[in-house]
């Protein structure tokens, strides 16, 4: 199991690491909800959320370069989803593009809307990445189950995470076997696109069959050991009172921040 890129947890003993997983999960969901509910154009709110996220990263002693690198993964996806906003929002034209018979004008209101979408996505992924970096996955599963997520879904997520590593190992073995049996002549590494597609399809089919057979063996082994469909966890039944107060204070601060953006004194 050498695929460390699949496990984003970073071991530590910071105050964020020691916080109860259920409190961290609820606080993260509250943070994402607050970022979604901020008033349009309320940039002080976005700056406050970003400052809080970066400060929490520093308190957790997670390398800032790592946290920022993971959070920037969301930017391309948010950009693809909202790239049309500058051209569909009415406002003062900042840039005019003529493509064939089409005339596209990027407006100031549309650019601001695009910037807000990117800011929301970035701060949300920053905090979500911090959650996975400071909480073992087994504790996250226990938190989900404690908060009422159906145990079937918890079991499915648990198996998906556990056997994702096995699946990647199996795929690498198949690829190495294919490379070991493929002769290279005159520097060529294979046939055309159709040939490569056929080889890739064979690898995917073989991987599916092996995964299906392994799942049957694992299921029979779990039944033989008394598995009843529930993932057991050593997570404490009740969160410490101190952690609950910290979570409550954070949620109240987020609610106050959202409310301040909708206050009459804020004109955007």
Q: State how far the Cα of 259 lies from the Cα of 37, in Å rounded to an integer.
A: 9
pTM of the entire predicted model: 0.74
Block residue for tokens 């690829």: 175
The string of pLDDT tens digits covering residues 95-131 is: 776 766 677 777 777 788 888 888 888 999 999 888 8
pLDDT at 1 over 50: no
Query: 133 versus 109: which is more confidently predicted?
Result: 133
Which pLDDT does position 33 carry in this prediction?
92
Region 217-238 average pLDDT: 74
pLDDT digits (tens, 9 = 90+) for 68-98: 888 888 788 887 877 777 777 777 777 776 7
**Distance separating alpha carbons of residues 196 and 76, to the nearest angstrom:** 29
> Which pLDDT value is given to residue 101?
67
Residue 11 has what pLDDT? 78
Q: How far is CA 61 from CA 13, 17, 107, in A?
A: 9, 9, 41
Contact 56, 16 (CB under 8 A): yes
């Amino acid at each position: 199991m050498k695929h460390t890129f699949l496990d984003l947890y970073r071991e530590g003993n910071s105050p964020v690491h020691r916080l109860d997983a259920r409190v961290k999960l609820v606080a993260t969901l509250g943070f994402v909800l607050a970022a979604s509910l901020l008033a349009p154009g309320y940039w002080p709110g976005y700056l406050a959320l970003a400052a809080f996220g970066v400060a929490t990263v520093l308190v957790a002693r997670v390398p800032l370069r790592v946290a920022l690198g993971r959070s920037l993964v969301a930017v391309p996806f948010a950009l693809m989803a909202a790239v049309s906003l500058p051209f569909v929002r009415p406002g003062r034209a900042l840039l005019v593009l003529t493509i064939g018979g089409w005339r596209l004008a990027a407006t100031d209101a549309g650019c601001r809307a695009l910037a807000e979408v990117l800011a929301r996505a970035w701060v949300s992924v920053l905090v979500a990445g911090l959650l996975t970096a400071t909480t073992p996955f087994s504790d996250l599963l226990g938190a989900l189950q404690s908060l009422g997520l159906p145990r079937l879904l918890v079991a499915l997520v648990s198996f998906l995470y556990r056997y994702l590593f096995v699946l990647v190992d199996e795929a690498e073995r198949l690829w190495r076997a294919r490379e070991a049996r493929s002769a290279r002549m005159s520097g060529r590494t294979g046939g055309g696109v159709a040939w490569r597609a056929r080889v890739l399809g064979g690898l995917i089919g073989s991987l599916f069959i092996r995964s299906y057979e392994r799942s049957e063996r694992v299921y029979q082994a779990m039944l033989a050991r008394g598995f009843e469909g529930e993932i057991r966890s050593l997570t404490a039944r009740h969160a410490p009172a101190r952690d609950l107060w910290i979570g409550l204070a954070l949620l109240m601060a987020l609610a106050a921040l959202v409310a301040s953006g909708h206050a009459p004194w804020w004109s955007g």
